[in-house]
Every structure is written in structure tokens, then in C-alpha cells.
Structure 1
Amino acid sequence: HKKHHVAGVAINVFGYRIGAIIGGAGALYLAAYFGWFWTYVFMAICVGISSMAILFNAEPKSILTDAMKERQERALNYLNQRGRSRGLSTRIMVWCYGAFLGPLTDFSKRKGWLWIFLFVLIFRLGDNLINNMANVFYLSIGFSKIDIANVTKFFGVFATIVGGFMGGLALKKIGQMRALLFCSILHLISNYMMIVLAQVGYNLEIFYLAIALENVTGGMVIIAFTSYLLLLCNRSYTGTQYALLSSLWYLGTPLASIGGWLADQVNDWITFFSIAMAAALPGIFILLWITYKYPQVMLHDIDERRAA
């Protein structure tokens, strides 16, 4: 249900971050006191509990519109006409259509779907450039590995959780597209703290402030962006369509691997972070274009018009 959507996304991000703390800093603490054997035993128990929770969870109901049923019926009729209506192979073909071709066909019928694909692909490019080189930057200005672990891996995770709940509040108060745009611009502005840190050098207070702003606004963006991806998905094809969109999202991470080469070429952290901030602008401009040109592309708008 739409009213549970934002809460579900927030809980998902919260659970992921708590898992990151347990599996990251928590594992190191356990290993220090009890050894790696018992650490792996504890982690295996955690995975087992999570798996049991999934197995005992009810299967969501599938919702098929008349248009979707018609497309699947046409696929079955096509196979019947070609004399392939019997056997396991036909059932597999029909299942493949429903699981893969149907979801892709459905998404390609959306207005502006190519713009959406491009937006999802490049939206996090600037952020990924910064993240890929962050630890190298911190070490280069004098922070120790312990400093980095305490500030980014521990304090930063809690800041991201706070940002997640703030992002959920923004979604509830101002709506999906405005919240996504607001959080994106806020996070872009927060990236300027990396330039400030590059100017002042080793300063633990500024480091904490930079990570606080970066991770709080980053958590807001993650909530708003994940919510946007889910709302783009047809409820009947959520699994496949979300997998497609999230794959495009994560494909942007290796695209940002040029960060090392870029940092070496410019040989100046202030210039590097300025370029990274500029790399985030095309995604925001495309978001503005999608919001203006295709204001009702999300599924819940389509469903509401059908129900009207």
C-alpha cells in the first residue's frame, strides 16, 4: 500500500545500516575478544535468523491488469500456433515471458523511459567519484586508519540512519519528486565540505562535521531515490523491474572508477572535488526535465487513474 511505502523504504535502509555496523565494526570487536571462529559462528546465526524471517514471511499477492493478462495470453497463443503447446519447454517459455519479457515490455511503454534509465545510471556519478577516492584523500591529509574507521564507519553509519529518517519525513511532507530534488541539491551542497577539508587539512572537528553533513544528506538521498525506483515499478513486476533499475544504479559505481585517474591528472584535491560536484549536475538537470516533462510517469499515478 502507498501509505506504507515510505516507512518500508526507511526500515529497509535502517536495517541495512545496522547490518553494516554488526558485520563491520561489530565483527572486528568480536574477533578481538573471542577470535574469528566464534565471530563467524555469530555471523552465521545472524544470517540464519534473517533467512528464517524471509521464509516465514507471506508471499505478496500478484496483481495483473487486463493489459498484462492480454499480453501473456498472446504469448501463449503464439506458442500454440507454432505447435509448441505441450511439454515443459512451453511452460518455461511462458514463465520467462511473464518473468522477464513482460516486465521489460511494460516498462518500455512508459513515457520518457529512456530518460529514466539515463537518470538512474548517472544520478550518483558525482557521489561515487568522491566515495571511490575518499579514503585515499583522508590518508593523504594526515588522518590515521583508526580516525577514518571511527568517523566514517561508526559515526558515519549513524549519521546515515538519521538522514534516512529525515528523508522519509521529507517524502511524507513534500512528496516524491520534490523530496528527491530537495535531497539531491542538499547533498550536492554538502559535498563542498570535502573542499573545506582539503583546504584546512588535518582537523578532526571539521572531519566529523563533513561526515555528518555528507552522510545525513546522503541518507536522505538514498531514501528518496530508493522510493522513486520502487514507485517506478509495476506492482505485478516489482522484482524484475526493481532489479533492472537497481542494476543501472550500481552500474554507475564502476563508471566512477576513473576517479583514481582523474585525481592523478589534476593532482589537486580541491579541483578533483569541484569536478566531482559538477559531475552530479547532469543527473539533477535530468531529474528536473523528467519532473517537468513526465509528471505522471510513476505507477501509483497510473493505478489511481485506472481506479478512478
Structure 2
Amino acid sequence: MASDKRWRSTFSIYAQPRVRSMIFLGFSAGLPLLLVFSTLSAWLRDEGVERSVIGFFSWVGVTYSIKVFWAPVIDRLPLPLLTKWMGKRRSWMLLAQLGIVVGLMGMGSSDSHTQLQQIALLSVWVAFCSATQDVVIDAYRIESVSPEYQGAMAATYVLGYRIALLMAGAGAFYIADYASWKVAYFVMASFMVVGLIATLCLKEPEHKPVDVMKLRENATVKGQNIWQRFFTGFMVAVLSPFVEFFNRNGKVGLLILMLIAVYKMSDITMGVMANPFYLDLGFSKKDIADISKIFGFFMTIVGAVVGGVLVVRYGIMRPLLLGAVMVAGTNLLFAVLAVSEPSLVLLSGVISADNLSGGIATSVFIAYLSSLTSTAYTATQYALFSSLMTLPAQLLGGFSGVVVDSYGYTVFFIYASTVGLPAIVLVLLLMRYQGRIKTNSYNPE
């Protein structure tokens, strides 16, 4: 009975207002993504734009990978009037959301035949504002609650994000089918009101005072002109987050960065070939869509919620290890599917297990990354971690097709599972290091 009460108390974290608010911010973050990627590609192709031209639009995604370069500006620069009125995070959040609304409305107002260059520029603008919003929301999430609640914050964020992907994907297709693509983009722009209202209603998190004066005094020389002072201040803003991270973690910082780089590698490597694999097995596009939408969506949310609860109940490291083991293990299920007779029941089971493990691993990993940031440089450090989290995995994922063509799907999924072993080893090493720190710091007196 006591155990049941403890579990009920643990699940009650999802009733906290700031945890619930992440649903709306997650929706606002997820909505623009597909509108500058797959949904935009479908619109352009439907209008008869050549595939080679559409391919160039994929470069818009680079904007999300380089957000770490302007994250220091978001961390340090106050916005005139807005920051004084709304606070450090909410002011940037509101500005980014308004930029997304303007960009989407501009795309909807453009002619894909005569104003293709304008659509391209506006899609880059939307991606830039969207990446900026991601940086600010991540910083707000980390600063709003203590580390043990980060798993729950990540879970509700994932829920809102997934709902937004459905709206910007399937929802935009339905609207375009019944009306037009222009109407679809105007409707999507109007849905950003969810994020705008949330930003206006939220409370600004407390910001602890940051002692950076010493760094500035050391870096600034009397007699510098305005450009020299600007360059000095810029270097302090950019380099200080990295220096602080290694000062705080020492040599273990390298292990942490290695874990960040490889933790999602198994999941992303497998994901590249998932849909081609389903099609090659003979499943129809409708079967794949139905199963991935129904089982994939709900199992990801369930996994994210469970991950948030596990962080509250057991801390971060043990659930982090569980997520790494589950992701690598479920990839082996795809190898079983590859050597079995095609079955919708088996496909549903494998997709459910994959999305459940992915949901757990994602929410726990977000909580882990959040715990690594300093309140002095939240936006910059988390932007660095999130870029490092995806870039190596995406580069490795590019070779997935080569492995499949050379050795077949069975070997590929075993390979994808094996890619997850370094993450398991690194988590165990970090757990051992933390255990040693606790033992050394124990004083029997």
C-alpha cells in the first residue's frame, strides 16, 4: 500500500502547472519543423517543382544544427523594452514565435511558380526563428524546475511536440486537399497562437546572479576601442560556457561529451532505414502509416511519461542506462522481423517496443543533458549538447543504405544494435565514477 502511494505521488508531478505548460511550448516548438521540411517538399512537388530543386531545400535543416553559434547571444543580450517587461527567456521566446508567424504567413502568400526564391528565403527565416525558439524553450525548461523534474518536463514537451508534428504533417495535408496549400500555411501560422498565449501566461524563471565580471576584467584592457571591446565581450560570451563546463567536470567532461555524441546513435542509425525496410517487406503505405501513427505515437508518449517518472523515482543514471539498453535491444527485434514472415501483428509489436524504448530514452536523456548545464550559460550549453547529440549520429546514419545493400537488413539491424554498445559502456563508466566520488566524499565521523 505504501509503495502504491509513493508511485501515485511520483505520477503527481504531471499535475504541476509548469510541467503541464511544456505541452503548449512543445507544440509551439514542433509546429514549424515539418513546414520547412517534408510538408514543404510535398507542397512544392504538388505544384510541379522539380525534384532536384526540392532537394536543395533540405539545406534549410542546417539552421537547426548550427543554433549553438547564436545561443550565446540569447544567453547574454537583453531585448529593448521586451526583456524589462517579460524577462530574459520569455522576451526571446515571444520574438521568435512572432518571427515564425510572419514567416509562415509570408510562405503562404508566395507563389511557388514565380516566387520560389522568396519561399526559400522565408523557409530559412522560419527555421532560424524556430531554432531560436528551441534554444529559449530548452533554457526555460531547465531553469524552471529542479533536475529531478526534468524527465517529466521532457515527457510533456514530447507530447506537445508530437501533436504538433501530426498537425503540421497529416493536418496540413488534409487542409491542402480540401482547400489549398496556401490556406494550410495560413492555418498553421494561426496555430502558433498556442505558443504565444503560453508565453504570455507563463512566469519567468528565477535567474541566479552570474559572476562574469572577473572574466571581463581579465579579458578587457583599458584603452580598447569600441570594436575591441565588442570582440572581447563576444569571445567571453562564446568561450566562457565551454571553459565553465570543463572547470566543473574536469577530465570526466570528455567522457560526458562522448556519451552525448553516441547515446542516440543506435536509434538514429536504425531510423534511417525503418520505412524502406517496412516497404521492402511488402507492407502497404497505409499499413505503415496506420501502425506508426497509432502505436508509434501513443507508445512514444507512454515511454516519455514512464521515463519522467523513473527519473523522479530513481535519479537519472539508472534510467539512462535502461534507455540505452532498451534502444539497442529493440533493434534486435527488427532483425527478428527481417527473417520472419510479414505479419501486421509482429510489425505492431516491434514498432510499439521501439517507440516505447525511444520515448523512455529520449525523456531521460533530455533530463540528463539538462542536469549538465550551468544556470550561467543554460541556452549556450544545452544548444551545444543538443547539436552534439544529433550530428555524429546523422553522419553515421548516412552509411545505413550502404550496409543494407552490402549485407542485408538482418546484418544491418544487428549492426545498429551494436552501435549502441558504446553508450551503455560510457553510462556504466560514469556511474562507476559517480559512485567512487560518493565513496571518497563519505566521512564516517
State the match for 2:192 in structure 1.
47
Specify the SS of the correspondent of 1:171.
helix
Instruction: Assess, with a 3 A threshold, how the Cα gap between structure 1 residues 261 and 72 changes in structure 2: closer, same or farther.
Output: farther
Amino acid at match of 1:240: T
Specify the SS of the correspondent of 1:27.
helix
State the match for 2:399 in structure 1.
258
Are 2:349 and 1:204 aligned? no
Distance 2:208 2:341 in 1: 56
Specify the SS of the correspondent of 2:377.
helix
Alignment counterpart, residue 355 of structure 2, candidates 208, 215, 230:
215
Deviations 1:152-197 (A, max 9, x none): 2443122101111011111122111011111221232222221221
Distance 2:399 2:285 in 1: 24
Are 2:241 and 1:103 aligned? yes
Contact kept in structure 1, 2:270 and 2:416, CA below 8 Å:
yes
Equivalences for 1:115-130 in 2 at 5 Å?
115-130=255-270
Amino acid at match of 2:340: V
Contact kept in structure 2, 1:133 and 1:259, CA below 8 Å:
yes
Two-structure CA RMSD over aligned residues (Å): 2.3
Amino acid at match of 1:61: E
Alignment counterpart, residue 280 of structure 1, candidates 404, 414, 420:
420
Deviations 1:69-103 (A, max 9, x none): 2x54243343134x21x636525632551x32111
The normalised TM-score by structure 2 is 0.61
Greater length-normalized contact order (CA 8 Å, ≥ 6 residues apart): 1
TM superposition shift of 1:281: 0.5
| Percent of aligned pairs with the same amino acid | 32
Alignment counterpart, residue 205 of structure 2, candidates 60, 68, 73:
60
State the match for 1:306 in structure 2.
none
Specify the SS of the correspondent of 1:234.
coil
Contact kept in structure 2, 1:103 and 1:237, CA below 8 Å:
yes
Contact kept in structure 1, 2:154 and 2:363, CA below 8 Å:
yes
Contact kept in structure 1, 2:327 and 2:420, CA below 8 Å:
no
Contact kept in structure 2, 1:76 and 1:94, CA below 8 Å:
no
Are 2:357 and 1:242 aligned? no
Distance 1:127 1:186 in 2: 10
Contact kept in structure 1, 2:151 and 2:366, CA below 8 Å:
no
Specify the SS of the correspondent of 1:152.
helix
Alignment counterpart, residue 20 of structure 1, candidates 165, 190, 200:
165
Equivalences for 1:89-168 in 2 at 5 Å?
90-91=229-230, 93-94=232-233, 96-97=235-236, 99-109=237-247, 110-111=249-250, 112-168=252-308
Contact kept in structure 1, 2:320 and 2:361, CA below 8 Å:
yes
Specify the SS of the correspondent of 1:60.
coil
Are 2:152 and 1:7 aligned? yes
Distance 2:218 2:175 in 1: 59
Instruction: Assess, with a 3 A threshold, how the Cα gap between structure 1 residues 26 and 154 changes in structure 2: closer, same or farther.
Output: farther
Specify the SS of the correspondent of 2:398.
helix
The normalised TM-score by structure 1 is 0.86
Instruction: Assess, with a 3 A threshold, how the Cα gap between structure 1 residues 130 and 74 changes in structure 2: closer, same or farther.
Output: closer
Distance 1:255 1:64 in 2: 41
Structure 2 residue runs of 5 or longer lacking an equivalent are 1-144, 439-445
Are 2:217 and 1:76 aligned? yes
Amino acid at match of 2:406: Q
Contact kept in structure 2, 1:119 and 1:286, CA below 8 Å:
yes
Specify the SS of the correspondent of 1:143.
coil
Contact kept in structure 1, 2:328 and 2:416, CA below 8 Å:
no
Alignment counterpart, residue 87 of structure 1, candidates 198, 223, 226:
226
